[in-house]
């Protein structure tokens, strides 16, 4: 019998947490044969609600769920942790400047990074979901002295999945026919969903679409502003789809990408494609043996170059802000 994998989830009592925990416990995060132990981290006001969720998890009698512990101290929450899903973050309040938001999140992600370095298992893998996810990941990574930088990733898989469906609808194809789609840059409105490298049933997607007006005026803004459209329609932000993407991100990282395909992950740049080294930016990546690699050697046309550069510029500005605040 396998040793259970310790999975820490922060913001466990929130909307995304509620949609996420049951799927982790039922084996979708790591695989149907991998037992898990959950470590739920909340702020003190969130602990009681997390206890309620834990009661419901108990009531599912999931065969793979070998334990649930709840903490309000990151040092305990990350003890022995193999996988960390950093969901809890400071939401943008009315009248809040971006600098205020980054400062408030620094107060969350810096101590979490320190706790990860001090207490997590050697093989720790981190996914940051809480926004601004890329820069929150950078704060945690920079505080986690001694942990390899590449263990810190940010979620752009929801953007990737949104783009897959929009492209499938436009071309009358199935999402499973589409390969090599890429989200570049920041998980924000500047992100760039790229179909120039993508293939639909083996043929170039941009050639099949052959409609730059749709690309610039419909596809890209629909994907980038999908979160706001969902808030508008549902009266609440996307939660189940965000949780689903978090599951996909970690499952792919651990279990690998299919031959001939790749996925999108926010990962520390090695300087590829002109993205300054160290920025946590979304790239096309392949995964194998629990590791990811940025896909190399893609030709970037002018249309893509301008959009990648704009999103990366925003990431650089966020990094400058958190540097000025002394958070990295
Ligand atoms: P949600 O669970 O809905 O969202 C959590 C975070 O995920 C937010 O930062 C949100 O960003 C982000 N997010 C990323 N992608 C998406 C997406 N596609 N759709 C929606 N959100 C996305 O928030 P709740 O307020 O319901 O819950 C947050 C919980 O976190 C609370 O229980 C709170 O107590 C807890 N918390 C825990 C902390 C800790 O463990 N130390 C620290 C801070 C909070 P955005 O705001 O941009 O929507």
Using a 6 Å CB cutoff, which residues line ligand 1?
10-11, 13-17, 41-43, 46, 87-92, 108, 129-131, 133, 158, 227, 237-239, 242
Nearest CA to ligand 1 atom 8: 130
| 164: in domain | yes
CA 65 distance to own-chain centroid: 23
- Which residue among 154, 176, 204 closes a domain? 154
pLDDT at 96: 84
- Residue 166 annotated as part of some ligand binding site: no
**What is the Cα–Cα distance from 123 to 184, expressed in whole angstroms?**
27
- Which residue among 131, 154, 177 closes a domain? 154
Q: What is the mean pLDDT of each run of 10 residues along the chain (328 residues)?
A: 94 98 98 97 98 98 98 98 97 82 94 98 98 97 98 98 98 98 97 98 97 97 95 94 98 97 98 98 98 98 98 97 95
CATH code at 91? Answer: 3.40.50.720
pLDDT at 153: 99
Atom of ligand 1 nearest to the CA of 245: 18
Examine the domain organization and report whether 30 and 144 are in the same domain. yes
pLDDT at 187: 96
Examine the domain organization and report whether 169 and 273 are in the same domain. yes
| 324: in domain | no
| 64: in domain | yes
Which residues fall within 8 angstroms of residue 181, CB to CB, at 6 or more apart? 160, 163, 164, 167, 193, 194, 195, 197, 198, 205, 264
Contact 198, 183 (CB under 8 A): no
Examine the domain organization and report whether 145 and 166 are in the same domain. no
Examine the domain organization and report whether 9 and 78 are in the same domain. yes
Examine the domain organization and report whether 98 and 135 are in the same domain. yes
pLDDT at 93: 80
| 277: in domain | yes
| 323: in domain | no
Examine the domain organization and report whether 243 and 266 are in the same domain. yes
pTM: 0.97
| 325: in domain | no
pLDDT at 95: 81
Total tally of structural domains belonging to the chain: 2
Examine the domain organization and report whether 88 and 209 are in the same domain. no
- Residue 204 annotated as part of some ligand binding site: no
Question: One of 28, 160, 187, 249 is an active-site residue; which one?
Answer: 187
Structural domain boundaries enclosing 189: 157-318
Examine the domain organization and report whether 177 and 311 are in the same domain. yes
Examine the domain organization and report whether 148 and 28 are in the same domain. yes
Examine the domain organization and report whether 301 and 180 are in the same domain. yes
C-alpha count within 13 angstroms, C-beta hemisphere, residue 192 = 25
Which residues fall within 8 angstroms of residue 299, CB to CB, at 6 or more apart? none
ipTM value of the model? 0.91
| 328: in domain | no
- Which residue among 123, 154, 185 closes a domain? 154
Check if 187 is active-site.
Answer: yes
Q: What DSSP line would sit under 122-181, residue for residue?
A: TT-EEEE-SSSHHHHHHHHHHHSTTS-GGGEEE--HHHHHHHHHHHHHHHT--GGGEE--
With H, G, I as helix, E, B as strand and everything else as coil, classify residue 38: strand
pLDDT at 263: 98
Beta strand pairing call for 263-268 and 203-204: unpaired
Nearest CA to ligand 1 atom 4: 16
Dihedral class, residue 67 (left if φ above 0, else alpha if ψ from -120 to 50, else beta)? left
**What is the Cα–Cα distance from 266 to 247, expressed in whole angstroms?**
15
Say how many Å lie between the CA of residue 255 and the centre of ligand 1: 26
| 24: in domain | yes
- Residue 157 annotated as part of some ligand binding site: no
Examine the domain organization and report whether 217 and 249 are in the same domain. yes
């Amino acid at each position: 019998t396998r040793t259970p994998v310790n999975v820490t989830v922060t913001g466990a009592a929130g909307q995304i947490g509620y949609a996420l925990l049951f799927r982790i416990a039922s084996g979708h995060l790591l695989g149907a044969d991998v037992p898990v132990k959950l470590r739920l981290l909340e702020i003190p006001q969130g602990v009681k609600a997390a206890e309620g969720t834990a009661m419901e998890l108990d009531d599912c009698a999931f065969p793979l769920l070998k334990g649930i512990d709840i903490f309000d101290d990151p040092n305990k929450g990350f003890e022995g942790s193999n996988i960390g899903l950093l969901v809890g973050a400071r939401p943008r309040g009315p009248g809040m400047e971006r600098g205020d938001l980054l400062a408030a999140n620094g107060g969350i992600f810096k101590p979490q990074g320190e706790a990860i370095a001090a207490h997590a298992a050697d093989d720790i893998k981190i996914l940051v979901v809480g926004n601004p996810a890329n820069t929150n990941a950078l704060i945690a990574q920079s505080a986690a002295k001694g942990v390899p930088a590449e263990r810190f990733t940010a979620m752009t898989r929801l953007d990737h999945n949104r783009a897959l469906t929009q492209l499938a609808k436009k071309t009358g194809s199935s999402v499973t026919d589409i390969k090599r789609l890429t989200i570049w840059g920041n998980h924000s409105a500047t992100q760039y969903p790229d179909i120039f490298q993508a293939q639909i049933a083996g043929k170039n997607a941009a050639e099949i679409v052959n409609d730059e007006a749709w690309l610039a005026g419909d596809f890209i803004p629909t994907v980038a502003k999908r979160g706001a459209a969902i808030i508008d329609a549902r009266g609440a932000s996307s939660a189940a789809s965000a949780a689903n993407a978090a599951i996909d991100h970690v499952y792919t990282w651990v279990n690998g990408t299919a031959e001939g395909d790749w996925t999108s992950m926010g990962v520390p740049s090695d300087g590829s494609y002109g993205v300054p080294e160290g920025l946590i930016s979304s790239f096309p990546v392949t995964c194998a043996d629990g590791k990811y690699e940025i896909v190399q050697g893609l030709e970037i046309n002018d249309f893509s170059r301008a959009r990648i550069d704009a999103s990366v510029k925003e990431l650089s500005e966020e990094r400058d802000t958190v540097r000025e605040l002394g958070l990295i």
